[in-house]
């Protein structure tokens, strides 16, 4: 039997957490996620901090800061990272929404279904071109 940890919360923690607006949280989330994407892209290329530092012509300590999730990037840095790491970080192309036109019509019609039979032995029907050939074959 494994004893779980006691659940605990404090007033001060509650109060401070509730003061965080969703916009602020979202911004922090995005910064952290961006850092994670850069980290993952580096791993995919087998690059360590030193390698990226060399590519970007920066000190390794700057790379550490970029990966920490606390950095507010300049867009030029983002663009260069996109190039060096071969990933897309920001969407700069506007994707057009698909234009759709809708049309509608109702029409009534009396129809005549037939059983699917051998055409050549049936009496001629005006609706069937194939049946014209029957007895007229050979006449010119």
Partner 1 sequence: MEQVNVNYQLKGIELLEINLKHPQIQLNQERSYNFNINIEQRINNEEKLVVVITSVDLIYEKDNQSHASIKTSCIFSIANFQDFIVGNTNEVKFPNQFIVILNSISLSTTRGIMFTSFKGTFMHNVLMPIVDPSAFVTQ
Partner 2 sequence: MKFEIVKLNKFNGNKCGVYSIFVDNEQKTLFDRFISENNISFKHEIRNILERLKTINSITGAREKYFKLNEGNPGDGVCALFDIPDSNLRLYCIRFGNSLIILGGGGEKQKTVKAFQEVDKLRDENYLLREIAAQIAYLIKEKEITFSDDGTEITGELEFENYE
Residues that bind partner 2 (CB under 8 A): 2-10, 12-14, 16-17, 19-20, 24-25, 28-29, 32-33, 35-36, 39, 64-65, 67-71
Q: Determine which residue in the list 110, 126, 130, 140 makes contact with partner 1, applying CB under 8 A.
A: 110
Q: Among residues 74 and 114, whose Cβ is nearest to partner 1? A: 114
Q: How far is the CB of 115 from partner 1 (least distance, A)?
A: 7
For position 129 contacting partner 1 by CB under 8 A, the verdict is no
118 in contact with partner 1 (CB under 8 A) = no
The gap between the terminal CA atoms of the chain, to the nearest Å, is 100
Answer yes or no: are the C-beta atoms of 90 and 75 closer than 8 Å: yes
By the 8 A CB rule, do 63 and 81 touch?
no
For residue 63, give the H/E element and its range. Answer: helix 60-67
């Amino acid at each position: 039997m494994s004893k779980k940890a006691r659940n605990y919360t404090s007033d001060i923690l509650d109060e401070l957490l509730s003061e965080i607006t969703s916009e602020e949280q979202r911004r922090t989330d995005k910064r952290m996620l961006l850092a994670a994407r850069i980290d993952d892209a580096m791993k995919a290329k087998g690059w360590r901090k030193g390698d990226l530092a060399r590519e970007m012509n920066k000190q390794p300590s700057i790379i550490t800061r970029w990966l920490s999730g606390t950095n507010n990037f300049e867009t030029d840095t983002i663009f260069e990272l996109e190039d060096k790491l071969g990933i897309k970080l920001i969407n700069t192309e506007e994707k057009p929404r698909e234009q759709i036109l809708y049309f509608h019509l109702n029409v009534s019609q009396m129809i005549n279904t037939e059983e699917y039979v051998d055409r050549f032995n049936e009496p001629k029907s005006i609706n069937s071109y194939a049946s014209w050939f029957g007895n007229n074959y050979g006449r010119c």
